[in-house]
Amino acid sequence: MKNQLRLIVLSVLLPFAAFSQYSISGSIQDSLKSSIIGARITVLETYVGVLSNTDGSYTLNGLKDGTYTVVADQLGFETLQQVVTISGADVQLDFQLQKSVVSLDEISIEGTRVSGNSPFVHTNIDKKDIESSNLGQDIAFLLQATPSLVATSDAGAGIGYTGFRIRGSDASRINVTVNGIPINDAESHGVYWVNMPDFASSTENIQIQRGVGSSTNGAAAFGGSVNLKTDLVSKEAYGELSSSVGSFNTKKNTLKLGTGLINKYWALDGRLSTISSDGYIDRASSDLSSYYISGGYYGKKTVVKAITFAGKERTYQSWWGTPEARANGDTAGLKVASDNAWFSAKEYDNLTKSGRTYNYYTYDNEVDNYAQDHYQLHLTHQFNSSLSATFSGFYTYGRGYYEQFKLQDDLADYNLDSVFVGNDTISQSDIIRRRWLDNDFYGGVFNVKYQTKKFNLIVGGGINQYDGGHYGEVIWAEFASNSNIRERYYDNTGNKTDMNLYAKADYSISKKLDLFLDMQVRKVAYTVSGIDNDLTKINIDTAFTFFNPKAGVNYQVNDRLRTYASFSVGNREPVRTDFIDNPKNQQPAHETLYDYEAGAELKLQKMFVQANFYYMDYTNQLVLIGDLNDVGSPIRTNTPNSYRAGIELIAGFKLHKKLDWMINGTFSQNKIKKFTETVADYTNDGYVLTEKTYENSDISFSPSVIAASVLTFKPVKGLIYSLRTKYVGEQYLDNTESSTRKLKAYITTDLGVSYTFKLNKIKEIQLNFLVNNIFDELYSSNGYTWGFIDTNGKRVSENYLYPQAGTNFLAGVIIKF
């Protein structure tokens, strides 16, 4: 029996012995033969990769016989590739990296990013990852395949007003920076990608951090951080022309030019873009334009870089959404939806004659018209191999309005007198109004980095000032009353000062164990004074001081397996609408998040797996009550205790030398321990507010399952097929966990084809084709709900959804020269 057992064991192990595994090891040094610490060494077409140790050494294990391309990459140095062949023995491979002026350009973002061995979970996206899909859709849709992310579009096609959530947290909870400069609106905390059309064409790379992460500049991250780095300087002169067309009369044209390094030190780069689309939703058109210009001096130890970029948008409004009965084709329910919303005969006619692409707005100039200009100046200096510093100054100027037609509005709502015609008193009028924003945002950020073999320290901070004007004008009225041209019927100003100081340190206790510590102090002062759009007086004067510590540990079990854990605290102030629209007419409290994260990451030659566990414990989280204010912004209220808990699974497989598969899934539970809903009650022919309390209910817009799959097939050189699938579980529209107020789960699949080739003197031609939603899934990715208790005591709910486009396509060409 023992002999039989030995034979069985030998028969099982023999095939594995036939495929012996070997290693590539060596050292990473600079031109002076000093060790380079923390350099990234990877093997192309595999998942094998490590960071160099404190003595500059590295070892890549688990490789079979064959020929490999090994890449050594470190910030501040030229990337170096070497080809090596393994044939029955381990291989020694040393690298000597040369200083790079180009890479010094990236040091400016170190204060907002984390490295590969960080305990803060993150995803890096390079320009090549999104280039073939960059055919006009906003950044929100280009990032759809990343973990825990759900994208949505008001117009239904990914152009115009778009946004995304991470782990169920909306844009106001996601910290966004460009080159370390805060982009979130100071008052709403939101990011409006429509003001930055085609910004992906000027983006070198993106890092998405989930959870509190290492956000430092701007609003605190409660769901994640998105850090964008604009294009690095090119050594050679270049030109690039790209054009694309697609469904819904979509067109995109982009021109990029660059001088390369002139006299080894100077360079100028620029981009012009236009994007237009009719949108999937009726009349939800977008007319967008933008530019990007950068110029700088790139010395051996000093980089001075000036950047300006701007966007201008004219977008027909589709904020209202579509009644659920209309979106689902329930013709019998249209009359109920119309009656509940008090539609006029004309509005009801529009509702009944429209299909799934219904748009409430019919006035031909119901548009959002806004422009935003950004100016940045970056100074980076490398004092020596251990010490570097960056200072960045910035100024952002935004201005514009949205125009609305209002049917028979009360003149008194615009501070206008009633009109007397004969014996008739006219107190209502058809009115066209414009509501304006005019804001300035400016400040500076800095960081100083000190590095030794075992210790890295970054000390930094920033200060910024926001001055924002909000005012409204009546530009036409059927009965003008006592109005005057350019007279402002409301006018208020918001001022916000935001300061922070932080210190980040990581210490290598051994070759396997690293400790991380991050401390930030942030002080915010916010005032608003004047008259609001409902003619009430606003007087907000408040200040907050926050301490946001973060700590973590990374343990490298071996070159293939690492584990990590972190604890972070995030505090953030309420946004403007939380103060103004608070349903209980109370000043909202600030929110606090305790974020616990832990995970493990395994990298083999043909497989990569990561599991990340998170528990996000909130105090006074501001949650949606399900309703919107009169300009389409969600209304929120504090809830004492709530949490998000889940696991993020990410895996990659090299199924074949021509076939790759990347998948990710987030499985979570998102709960409010106690939520009180406020509802208007008309039971006794009057109007009162009643409250109902729910316990342990799901947080709105927080699906328990989010998953994505990207299958990539490269049959021949230059040709790439990609099949991208996204699954989003059901989402509740409010926090009552009611089955009558939720979005259905959906799954979409997109097919992309890209072919790259060279032709004569043209450097590269790339043909791209993308079919979105190839199975024509009819789904809605966003919505809101509102309701009341009618005179019969019945709870009435009306859900409004944002239907997304069925099957649609985009096709484009990129010519590089």
**Do 90 and 194 sit in the same domain of this protein?**
no
Query: pLDDT value at position 717?
Result: 94
Whether 118 and 176 share a structural domain: yes
User: Domain for residue 349, yes or no?
Assistant: no
Beta-bridge partner residues of 500: 462, 522
CB 623 within 8 A of CB 642: yes
Show Cβ contacts of residue 84 under 8 Å, excluding neighbours closer than 6 positions.
24, 67, 68, 70, 91, 93
Q: What's the pLDDT score for residue 101?
A: 66
Q: In the chain, what are the helix, strand and coil shares in percent, each to the nearest 5?
A: 10, 60, 30
**Of all residues in the chain, what percent carry a pLDDT higher than 90?**
72
User: Is the domain of 527 the same as that of 661?
Assistant: yes
544: CATH: 2.40.170.20
- The H or E element that residue 809 is part of is strand 808-816
- For residue 459, being part of any structural domain is answered with yes
Q: Which domain holds residue 42?
A: 18-98
Residue 233 burial by Cβ neighbours in a 10 Å radius (0-12, 13-18, 19+): buried
190, 205, 230 - which closes a domain: 230
273 and 202 within one domain = no
Contact 774/734 with Cβ under 8 angstroms?
no
Q: Are residues 667 and 769 in the same domain?
A: yes
- For the stretch 241-297, pLDDT in tens is 999 999 999 999 999 999 999 998 999 999 999 999 999 999 999 999 999 999 999
Unique residue bearing structure tokens 């918001």: 494
Model confidence over 512-560: pLDDT tens digits?
999 999 999 999 999 999 999 989 999 999 999 999 999 999 999 988 9
Q: Residue 158 pLDDT more than 80?
A: yes
Q: What is the mean pLDDT of the chain?
A: 91
212 and 296 assigned to the same domain: no
Asked if pLDDT for residue 689 goes beyond 80, the answer is no
**Cα radius of gyration rounded to whole Å, the chain:** 28
| Per-residue confidence (pLDDT) for residue 584, from 0 to 100 | 56
For residues 140 and 186, state if they share a domain.
yes
User: Please, which residues bridge with residue 474 across strands?
Assistant: 433
Please check whether residue 352 lies inside any domain of the structure: no
Under a CB-based contact definition with an 8 Å cutoff, are residues 75 and 107 in contact?
yes
- What does the pLDDT read at residue 108? 66
CB atoms within 10 A of CB 645: 15
Q: What is the pLDDT of residue 273?
A: 98
Per-residue pLDDT for 787 more than 50?
yes
339 within domain boundaries: no
Q: What is the per-residue DSSP string for 166-184?
A: ETTB-GGGEEEEETTEE-S
Could you report how far apart the first and last alpha carbons of the chain are, in Å? 72
pLDDT, residue 690, reads: 78
Q: How far is CA 474 from CA 374, 430, 484, 633, in A?
A: 30, 11, 9, 22
- Decide if 350 is inside a domain: no
Q: Do residues 288 and 191 share a domain?
A: no
Identify which has the larger pLDDT, 136 or 34.
136
Residue 10: per-residue pLDDT: 44
Query: Would you place residue 16 in the very low, low, confident or very high pLDDT band (cuts 50, 70, 90)?
Result: very low
pLDDT for 57-77, tens place per residue? Answer: 999 988 888 999 999 988 778
Question: In terms of pLDDT, which residue wins out, 308 or 218?
Answer: 308
Q: Is residue 272 part of a domain?
A: yes
Among residues 98, 122, 139, the one where a domain terminates is 98
Nearest to 627, CA basis, from 696, 577, 669: 577
Are 133 and 186 in a shared domain? yes
Alpha carbon distance 515, 118 (integer Å): 9
- Number of Cβ within 10 Å of residue 505's Cβ equals 15
- Structure tokens, 35: 């060790």
Of the three residues 74, 98, 122, the one that is the final residue of a domain is 98
% pLDDT > 70, the chain: 94
Q: Looking at per-residue confidence, does 107 or 3 come out higher?
A: 107
- Would 440 be classed as within a structural domain? yes
Instruction: Give the confidence band of 685 by pLDDT, cuts at 50, 70, 90.
Output: low
742-763 CB burial, b ≥16 within 10 A, e <16: bbeebebbbebbbbbeeeeeee
642's tokens: 């709530």
Q: CA 718, CA 729: separation in Å to the nearest integer?
A: 36
3-class secondary structure, 505: strand
369-422 pLDDT per residue, tens: 999 999 999 999 989 888 999 999 999 999 999 999 999 999 999 999 999 988
d(CA 132, CA 134): 6
At 3 the pLDDT is: 52
User: Comparing 266 with 679, which gets the higher pLDDT?
Assistant: 266
List the alpha helices (DSSP H) in 58-199.
101-104, 127-131, 139-142
Average confidence (pLDDT) over 568-585: 83
pLDDT of residue 635: 74
Burial of 765 (0-12, 13-18, 19+ CB in 10 A): middle
Residue 176 sits at φ, ψ, to 5 deg, of: -120, 130
CATH code at position 129: 2.170.130.10
Q: What is the mean pLDDT of residues 714-721?
A: 96
Alpha-helical segments (H) within 540-698: 576-580
Kind plus residue range of the DSSP H or E element containing 696: strand 688-698
Token digits of residue 676: 């009180």
**Where does 266-332 have alpha helices with state H?**
324-327
Average pLDDT over residues 803-812: 98
Q: How many CB atoms lie within 10 A of CB 403?
A: 18
**Whether residue 179 sits in one domain with residue 49:** no
d(CA 707, CA 145): 8
**Torsion angles phi and psi, residue 300, rounded to 5:** -65, -35
Q: What is the pLDDT of residue 13?
A: 41
d(CA 595, CA 34): 39
Q: How far apart (Å, rounded) are the C-alpha atoms in residues 384 and 349?
A: 72
Would you say residue 633 has pLDDT above 70?
no
pLDDT at 9 over 90: no
Distance of CA 733 to CAs 698, 725, 765, 800, Å?
10, 24, 45, 9
Same domain, 497 and 526: yes
Number of domains in the chain: 3
pLDDT tens-digit series, residues 93-126 = 999 988 776 667 776 677 678 887 889 999 999 9
Between 790 and 464, name the one with better pLDDT: 464
Residue 687 has pLDDT above 70, yes or no: no
- Asked whether residue 3 is assigned to any structural domain, the reply reads no
By the 8 A CB rule, do 463 and 442 touch?
no
Confidence at residue 1, expressed as pLDDT on a 0 to 100 scale: 47
User: Please, what sign has the CA dihedral across residues 147, 705, 785, 782?
Assistant: positive
Q: Does 699 lie in the same domain as 551?
A: yes
Task: Give the CA distances from residue 798 to residues 323, 429, 733, 793, in Å, rounded to whole numbers and listed in that order.
Answer: 7, 27, 11, 16
Query: 79-88, 352-361, 519-528, 620-629: which has the minimum mean pLDDT?
Result: 620-629
Q: Which two tokens stand for residue 328?
A: 């689902």
